[in-house]
């Protein structure tokens, strides 16, 4: 990997770890002992194509991207003159669109909330599930959250650009309920840089399958709800509650294309988003306490 970029902090540690894992698992066994100047485009394509039958089209594309970094670095060092991964553009199968199921029936969401309250597994995981619904960020963004990103007195979580899918900074206003859960977590995981540390190794974040596994243990199957599906839950119900789509989309960090990234304002609609996030937390409390559940009660925008 391009070591100068790593040393200067231009690549997040998680990105470096992910890239190394992909290269060691999928590329090095076939090509790792070969001089980089001897590797031809069709040989690399054959290796990448072997990943696709496993149902890992997205992983195959990521592997090509990681290889591209290696080849660009080799060009800079004078080992090769061109990046052969550019010849492979369009030759890999496009990733399959994955549907992330989310609960959008208020009554059923209330059942989920009560089930999470009764979770008897590791306390950090139970709190993570509650915060996942309150924040509706992407699961990886939640799991890898660090304490240094949180300003509890200011009631905000500032996610750095390198931790976001769109590579732009994101701000999450913290509701009273979220602050209470985070302060509880401080007594559990304050010794780790991660808010949700791994049980086996506190220097690492919670495993990616932990939240999904917890949902399954509570009786909620993957065809009904996933941690990523919490985003669909929030988006749908907030719209039904009458909140403006602009505030919802900005809070979900949606629609950040290359053309708008340069002028992206992470604080846009922030006053409205603060009110919305508190109303959302209050609405979840109402669903938790109710046995019927309805978007006609509570959580709606003040008109």
CB-CB neighbours of 60 under 10 Å: 22
- Bridge partners, 165 (sequence order): none
Known active-site residue 269 = no
Known active-site residue 228 = yes
Closest CA to 264 of 167, 132, 175, 128: 167
Number of H helices, E strands in the chain: 14, 3
User: Which residue in the list 61, 130, 143, 231 is annotated as catalytic?
Assistant: 231
User: Which residue in the list 138, 170, 250, 273 is annotated as catalytic?
Assistant: 138
User: Which residue in the list 54, 82, 99, 254 is annotated as catalytic?
Assistant: 254
Known active-site residue 42 = no
Start-to-end C-alpha separation, the chain: 53
Known active-site residue 183 = no
Do the Cβ atoms of 220 and 208 come closer than 8 Å?
no
User: Which residue in the list 66, 228, 273, 274 is annotated as catalytic?
Assistant: 228
- How many CA atoms does the CB half-sphere of 290 hold within 13 Å? 19
The gap from C-alpha 80 to its chain's centroid, in whole angstroms, comes to 36
Closest CA to 177 of 131, 229, 126, 218: 131
User: Which residue in the list 64, 130, 264, 274 is annotated as catalytic?
Assistant: 264
Helix spans in the chain (H)? 3-7, 13-22, 28-31, 41-49, 57-77, 106-117, 123-135, 139-143, 176-189, 210-217, 229-240, 245-251, 258-261, 270-289
> Catalytic residue numbers?
138, 165, 228, 231, 254, 264
């Amino acid at each position: 990997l391009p070591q100068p970029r790593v040393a200067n902090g231009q690549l997040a540690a998680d990105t470096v770890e992910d890239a190394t894992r992909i290269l060691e698992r999928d590329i090095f066994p076939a090509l790792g002992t070969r001089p980089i100047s001897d590797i031809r485009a069709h040989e690399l394509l054959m290796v990448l194509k072997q990943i696709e039958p496993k149902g890992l089209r997205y992983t195959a594309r990521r592997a090509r991207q990681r290889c591209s970094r290696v080849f660009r670095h080799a060009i800079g060092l004078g080992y090769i003159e061109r990046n052969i991964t550019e010849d492979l553009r369009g030759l890999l199968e496009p990733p399959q669109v994955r549907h992330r199921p989310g609960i959008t029936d208020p009554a059923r969401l209330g059942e989920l909330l009560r089930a999470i309250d009764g979770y008897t597994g590791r306390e950090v995981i139970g709190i993570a599930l509650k915060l996942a619904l309150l924040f509706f960020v992407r699961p990886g963004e939640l799991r890898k959250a660090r304490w240094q990103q949180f300003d509890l007195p200011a009631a905000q979580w500032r996610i750095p650009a390198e931790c976001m899918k769109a590579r732009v900074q994101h701000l999450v206003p913290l509701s009273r309920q979220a602050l209470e859960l985070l302060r509880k977590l401080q007594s559990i995981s304050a010794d780790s840089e991660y808010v949700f540390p791994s049980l086996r190794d506190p220097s690492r974040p919670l495993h990616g399958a932990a939240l999904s596994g917890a949902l399954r243990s509570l009786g909620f199957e993957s065809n009904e709800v996933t941690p990523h599906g919490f985003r669909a839950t929030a988006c749908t119900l907030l719209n039904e509650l009458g909140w403006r789509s602009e505030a919802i989309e900005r809070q979900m960090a949606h629609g950040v294309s290359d053309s708008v990234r340069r002028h992206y304002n992470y604080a846009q609609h922030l006053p409205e988003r603060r009110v919305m996030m508190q109303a959302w937390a209050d609405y979840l409390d109402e669903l938790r306490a109710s046995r019927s559940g309805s978007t006609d009660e509570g959580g709606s925008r003040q008109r």
